[in-house]
Structure 1
Amino acid sequence: MKTIRPFNTLLTAMAVSILALGASGASAQDTLRSLTAFPSSDATAALYAEFVELVNERGAGILEIDIVGGPEIVPGFQQTEAVARGTIDMTYAPISYSLGVFPEGDAWVGSNLTPMESRENGGFELVQSIAAEKLGVHVLSRFAPAAPLALYFVDEPKVDADGNLDLSGLRMRASPLYNALYEALGAVPVTISVPDIYSGLERRTFDGMGFPPSAIDGWSWDRFLKYRLDPGFMQTDLGIYINPSKWAALSDESRQILTDTAVEFEATSYELWQQVTEEANAKFEGLGMQVVALEGAGRQAFLDTAFGASWDRLKASGSDDYEALRDHYYREPK
């Protein structure tokens, strides 16, 4: 016997089919779920939020980035790996967090060129290709780029009779970004996470630390850190990383919006971050922080050691790309 389907059931089936056809014919909005390596209160995390807002504005109806949290969800040191695995679509984090498997990240740290120069000469594209192979991520951008770093101290650091900085015996808050420099100057790296820096200073667990001046505001560390070394040195190494499968699945329009906005933001944030650095230095000097300024041969020796520490570490890693990266990211002082 032939089964007769009720009229309402037929209508429902037809409606579902029509909706399915309509959905397949319409292009869905791309969404990227993002983490940040630092809490939202951090100045560079706030700048990343501005980048995300600009992308979302330009990509309305096409692309949206959703910042779902920070290190409270996945520790900062593990976020790039989480992106590679596809646990999260995207993150913003220091490339130095991955130096163990990606020593080529030292090219960003040891660079003395602007991000615009390294994009123009092919350096950024070179890092992209190496990171795709070794980290399993698509590198979208350098971020808050090329802001100089600084050393801060609880007590006035020693400068010898020849004007050279002497950190012998000092305990410095460890970071992959600075450890080679500390060791070259005789200091001992001590591992302290960013959220624990305040209590570490309060207990005098360490004597000093390196940090971008532009990012030190808001932590109240200046209650203990009373000296800043001049000159600034090396460069910040923050980057934006996307899962390659997710990147490939985005529409051409979404990828273009991300790329164009990233290139533009690299340049604008570079100019902004130089200004923010100057303003941060002036603010803390106004609050009583003293500047220990190296001069002459001692100043140049410090800069040579600081930049050289990164390049020496990269060379010692045995990377096949050492020479090419140095050519694209470093200009020999005249």
Structure 2
Amino acid sequence: MMKKLLLTAGMMTAVALGAANAVAQTPLRVAGNFSQNTKHVDIERAFFDGLGAATGIDLGMNYNPMDVVGVKAPDALRMLRGGSFDVMSVQIGMASRDDPFFEGVDLIGVSTDMAALRKVVDAYRSVFDKRLEEKFNAKVLTLWPFGPQVFYCNSPIKTLADLKGLKVRSFTPSMSAMLEHFGATPVTLQFSEVYPALQRGVVSCGVTSPTSGNTGNWPEVTKFFLPLSVSGSVQGHFINLDKWNSFSPEQQASLTAAFKQLEDQLWGLAVTSNDDAMACNTGAEACSGHKKFDMTMVEITPEDQAKVKEAAEQVVLPIWRDTCNTVDPTCSATWNETAGAAAGLTIQ
């Protein structure tokens, strides 16, 4: 009888300890990037798997790529505000349809190289974060780019003029404005929808980074590669503000430091991996870290570079100004003082 009592007491203690440990854990529901972006998902998964150990916080981690859990990129900000997830990897250009202010971090044609883009992102970060907290009850953890946004096409192209009459995948309002300026028809698609759209001829071209296009196997369904950058496709990891406020100041500091390391790693990927992806897309001998394909490389002309800048100043910025100022009369003035000052541009 005594043995039974001791055994029962031990079992009850183990159950109690297990329950206490379960309660001690802070659950974190994370919707990550699209699963087709394998390099980014691998980085995210490793980061979130190790986040508890890195911060000393007892986290109950539940990480899944957004397409695996059925998340649509344009819905991310509303899902964060509603608490569907605690942390989300957000494609800002698509989510900005809920508030054009956010697209100001990466307007098409404003920053076409990664060094210039980082200055703009850093300048816009604080006002971006403030608006995110006010409008969507969320906070910025990271802001980073996929890399230079370039063209993958089925139809033969030699210059931007050849986009006229073609249907081209777009994922931000300002990109759509630029494509229309060049005579193309923009078709808004999230990343996971582009491969089948190119395969079926729904669109003739897609715009993404060399790395994303390569890991997403776009060269299987396209032939011509124009590495003319029009933006950086800035993304972010955002956390629901209620979840953020549930952490102590010390835990918040640990999380901030950890996510800064993730941000730097993703910036590094954008800077270093895209040259190799371009080499691999076109079957060059220098290809080493990506899948090797045989796309035709289209030479970038100075005239096309000038056309992108012209489109930004004459079309993209005025359209965004009018759209954003309708929502917030101080929108373009705020942009001029932050991102615009960093980019050397002023919206009139």
Fold conserved between structures, TM > 0.5? yes
Q: Is the 8 A contact 1:174 1:190 kept in 2?
A: yes
Matches within 5 A, 1:24-63: 28-39=24-35, 42-63=38-59
1:313–1:225 CA distance, 2 compared to 1 (3 A): same
SS at 2:156 equivalent: coil
SS at 2:165 equivalent: coil
- The residue aligned with 2:334 is 324
- The residue aligned with 1:233 is 230
Question: How far apart, CA to CA, are the structure 2 residues paired with 1:316 and 1:190?
Answer: 22
Question: How far apart, CA to CA, are the structure 1 residues paired with 2:118 and 2:199?
Answer: 40
Question: How far apart, CA to CA, are the structure 2 residues paired with 1:96 and 1:43?
Answer: 20
Q: Could you give the per-residue CA deviations for residues 237-273 of structure 1, whole angstroms, max 9, x where no partner exists?
A: 2111111111111222331122112223323321232
Question: How far apart, CA to CA, are the structure 2 residues paired with 1:203 and 1:138?
Answer: 39
Query: How far is the alpha carbon of 1:61 from its aligned partner?
Result: 4.4
Query: How far is the alpha carbon of 1:153 from its aligned partner?
Result: 0.9
Query: How far is the alpha carbon of 1:158 from its aligned partner?
Result: 4.9
Q: Which amino acid in 2 is paired with 1:28?
A: A
1:280–1:308 CA distance, 2 compared to 1 (3 A): farther
SS at 1:209 equivalent: strand
Q: Which amino acid in 1 is paired with 2:239?
A: I
Moved more, 172-181 or 277-286: 172-181
Q: Is the 8 A contact 2:36 2:192 kept in 1?
A: no
Q: Which amino acid in 2 is paired with 1:314?
A: W
SS at 1:277 equivalent: helix
Moved more, 57-66 or 269-278: 57-66
Q: Which of the residues 60, 84, 94 maps onto 1:87?
A: 84
1:194–1:248 CA distance, 2 compared to 1 (3 A): same
Question: How far apart, CA to CA, are the structure 1 residues paired with 2:153 and 2:64?
Answer: 35
SS at 2:214 equivalent: coil
Q: Does 1:183 align with 2:189?
A: no
Q: Does 1:297 align with 2:298?
A: no
Question: How far apart, CA to CA, are the structure 2 residues paired with 1:276 and 1:266?
Answer: 15
- The residue aligned with 1:124 is 125
- The residue aligned with 1:67 is 63
Query: How far is the alpha carbon of 1:199 from its aligned partner?
Result: 2.8
Question: How far apart, CA to CA, are the structure 1 residues paired with 2:319 and 2:49?
Answer: 37
Q: Could you give the per-residue CA deviations for residues 162-181 of structure 1, whole angstroms, max 9, x where no partner exists?
A: xx634221111232263122
1:294–1:165 CA distance, 2 compared to 1 (3 A): farther
- The residue aligned with 2:289 is none
- Percent identical: 18
Q: Is the 8 A contact 1:116 1:267 kept in 2?
A: no
SS at 1:181 equivalent: helix
Q: Does 1:194 align with 2:206?
A: no
Q: Which amino acid in 2 is paired with 1:255?
A: Q
1:295–1:47 CA distance, 2 compared to 1 (3 A): same
- The residue aligned with 2:149 is 149
Q: Which amino acid in 2 is paired with 1:248?
A: N
Q: Which of the residues 245, 248, 272 maps onto 2:245?
A: 248
Query: How far is the alpha carbon of 1:308 from its aligned partner?
Result: 6.4
Question: How far apart, CA to CA, are the structure 1 residues paired with 2:116 and 2:49?
Answer: 24
Question: How far apart, CA to CA, are the structure 2 residues paired with 1:249 and 1:118?
Answer: 31
Q: Is the 8 A contact 1:36 1:76 kept in 2?
A: no
Q: Which amino acid in 2 is paired with 1:298?
A: D
Q: Could you give the per-residue CA deviations for residues 170-218 of structure 1, whole angstroms, max 9, x where no partner exists?
A: 1112322631221121111234453343332222221101111121123
Question: How far apart, CA to CA, are the structure 1 residues paired with 2:116 and 2:146?
Answer: 6
SS at 1:217 equivalent: helix
Question: How far apart, CA to CA, are the structure 2 residues paired with 1:193 and 1:100?
Answer: 13
- The residue aligned with 2:218 is 221
Q: Could you give the per-residue CA deviations for residues 95-135 of structure 1, whole angstroms, max 9, x where no partner exists?
A: 122222221122222253657545764x2111000111223
Greater RCO structure (CA 8 Å; 6+ sep):
1
Q: Is the 8 A contact 1:150 1:231 kept in 2?
A: yes
Q: Is the 8 A contact 1:28 1:62 kept in 2?
A: yes
Higher helix share: 2
Q: Could you give the per-residue CA deviations for residues 52-99 of structure 1, whole angstroms, max 9, x where no partner exists?
A: 244233024444542045224232232331111012211102012222
- The residue aligned with 2:105 is 108
- The residue aligned with 2:287 is none
Q: Is the 8 A contact 2:198 2:206 kept in 1?
A: no
Query: How far is the alpha carbon of 1:305 from its aligned partner?
Result: 2.0
TM-score, L = length of structure 2: 0.78
Moved more, 50-59 or 234-243: 50-59
